Amino acid sequence: MPDNESELREACGVFGVWAPGTPVSHTVYLGLFALQHRGQESAGIAVSDGAKIWVDKDMGLVSTIFDDHRLRALQGHSAIGHTRYSTTGASSWMNSQPVYRAAAEQHFALAHNGNLVNTAELAQAAGMAVDEIGSDSDVVAALLAKELSADGQDHGSDALMPSFLQVLRRLEGAYSFVMLTDHFLVGARDPLGFRPLFLGRLHDGWVLASETPALDVVGAELVREVEPGEVVVIAEGELVSHRPFSGEAATPRLCSFEYVYFARPDGYLGGQNVHRVRQRMGEALARQAPAPADYVVPIPESGIPGAQGYAKQSDLPYVDGFIKNRYIGRTFIAPTQELRRNAVRIKLNPIRENIEGRRLVVVEDSIVRATTLRETMRMLRSAGAAEIHLRVLSPPYRWPCFYGMNTTDRSQLIAANREVEEIRTYLGAESLAYLDIDAMVEAISPDSAPGLCTACLTGEYPTPLPS
Ligand code: SF4
């Protein structure tokens, strides 16, 4: 549900490429362009030519920051990139990524998707003062720099990977990293695999990306997911896999909201096409909560496949109820209530012809804060909707996320302290139903054990929580 105030925001997209003799910065640009939905506050690219690392980053969208001239200045054999939404650390140039550090004659650039839950403890271990803590990614870079210079000796490039693996063992929470050094491209995923990370082949080279469509757009072939708890190191064109975490592999906990909202529908997660998963959620919702209606209407964009599934299962006609303005970037926070209402219309405008006098099933992917959704319901009503039966493709979002979503404040979650009936009244719908959690998990993973995080829906967190 897109809006400044109520949008669920993902914590970043990462991309990496090792492909000597090719324009790697342009490849990263295209990869980041495909991952733009994962973060729109800032973006950056780091390139290595084997002796130096250059980093170029700025606030804004990938397409507004980089042009051909800027990309041509970034020459090398390997590169990483990042698109950012802030979770730990403010939205500022200082906290944009990739982060760069040099220590003990070594240097590296690091880009991170996810959120750590022991940042304060790590910052202390890195010797950072409270006012020095920027993003949790910066803390990881500081810790690695400290590890590298621990004994004051220069151990050469051989020291970097053992030190990085040592640092990874101290991290708690969610991370998919890409890291660039003079000699290596590295991808690392936390032991529970909260955030996705994929490995692809680009001719003789390698690509790492948060989502599979980013592999598609650069012409890379999907090899496999980087597995939870795996670190892949690409050097001299060869890939070596490390398993730095001791003990039995834990059950994976891929974020279920990657399927509900964040991931691109053309992508694959856990072997499942995201668009098809959302359709199955809609089908399950139609079985669970049928409604007397004339039309099924999606709230664009992520409600669309769910509405298609609901319509098919319930044998009701699917129609568009809104036109979404595709060209809008971030909007300003409007100073008056009236302008704020209009700001919703800038993004979404109703098609009166399909609404007036109709009983509508309206399909939404999730309800988090509900401020924008309330305005959307008002729009439908003022366009003449006779009845609105709101159907939601996920269970009530009741608990904060500490693994990379911007929902750490429970007081802002509408379902945290309200029953479904109160939410229905607040939104002004004739009926409201959420998909049951078992049905959601079944829709995500019909053939195998799911291995999902559902903490924001159940309150059952798979790691210790931040103090
Ligand atoms: S708490 Fe919710 S949003 Fe956060 S990682 Fe888990 S499922 Fe995803």
Q: What's the 96 CA to ligand 1 centre distance in angstroms? A: 23
Which residue in the block uniquely carries the two structure tokens 């959620």? 281
Average pLDDT of span 235-244: 94
Q: Which of 12, 255, 453, 456 is catalytic?
A: 12
pLDDT (0 to 100) of residue 222? 98
What's residue 288's pLDDT? 98
Predicted pLDDT at 111: 97
What is the predicted pLDDT for the residue at 412? 85
Q: Which of 209, 205, 238 is nearest to 225 (CA)?
A: 209
**For residue 184, what pLDDT band results from cuts at 50, 70 and 90?**
very high
Q: Give me the pLDDT at residue 2, please.
A: 37
Q: Given a cut of 60, is residue 375 above it in pLDDT?
A: yes
pLDDT confidence bin for 347, thresholds 50/70/90: confident
Among residues 326, 275, 274, the alpha carbon closest in space to that of 36 is found at 326
pLDDT tens digits for range 244-302: 998 777 889 999 999 999 999 999 999 999 999 999 999 999 999 999 999 999 999 88
- Whether 401 sits among the annotated catalytic residues: the reply is no
Question: Ligand 1 center to residue 401 CA distance, Å?
Answer: 5
Per-residue pLDDT at 188 exceeds 80: yes
Between these two residues, 409 and 199, which has the higher pLDDT value? 199
Best substitution site from 38, 172, 176, 255 to test ligand 1's pocket, by max atoms within 8 Å of Cβ? 255
**Residues ≥6 apart with Cβ < 8 Å to 56:** 44, 45, 46, 66, 70, 73, 74
Distance 400 CA to ligand 1 centre (A): 8
Which pLDDT value is given to residue 8?
58
Output the pLDDT for position 43: 94
Domains and CATH numbers, the chain: 13-250 (3.60.20.10), 268-458 (3.40.50.2020)
**441 vs 368, 437, 452, CA distance in Å?**
19, 6, 8
Quote the pLDDT of residue 4.
37
Select from 344, 345, 273 the least CA-distant residue to 309: 273
Q: Which residue, among 89, 180, 102, has the nearest Cα to 137 in the 3D structure? A: 89
User: How many Cβ atoms sit within 10 Å of the Cβ of residue 206?
Assistant: 23
Closest residue by CA, ligand 1 atom 2:
456
| Ligand 1 atom with the shortest distance to the CA of 397 | 2
Distances (CA, A) of 369 to 9, 366, 382, 417, 454: 12, 10, 22, 12, 18
* pLDDT classification of 5: cutoffs 50, 70, 90: very low
Residue 91, pLDDT > 80, answer no
pLDDT of residue 408 exceeding 90 = no
| Residue-wise pLDDT tens digits, 380-398 | 999 999 999 999 999 999 9
Q: What percent of the chain has pLDDT over 90?
A: 73
Which residue out of 403, 407, 441, 465 has the highest number of ligand 1 atoms within 8 Å of its CB and is therefore the one to mutate? 403
- What is the per-residue DSSP string for 196-242? --EEEEETTEEEEESSHHHHHHTTPEEEEEPPTT-EEEEETTEEEEE
Nearest protein CA to atom 5 of ligand 1, as residue:
255
When pLDDT is cut at 50, 70 and 90, the band that residue 325 belongs to is: confident
Structure confidence at residue 430 (pLDDT): 98
Around ligand 1, the residues with Cβ closer than 6 Å are 194, 255-257, 401, 403, 405, 453-456
Residue 87 vs residue 196, higher pLDDT: 196
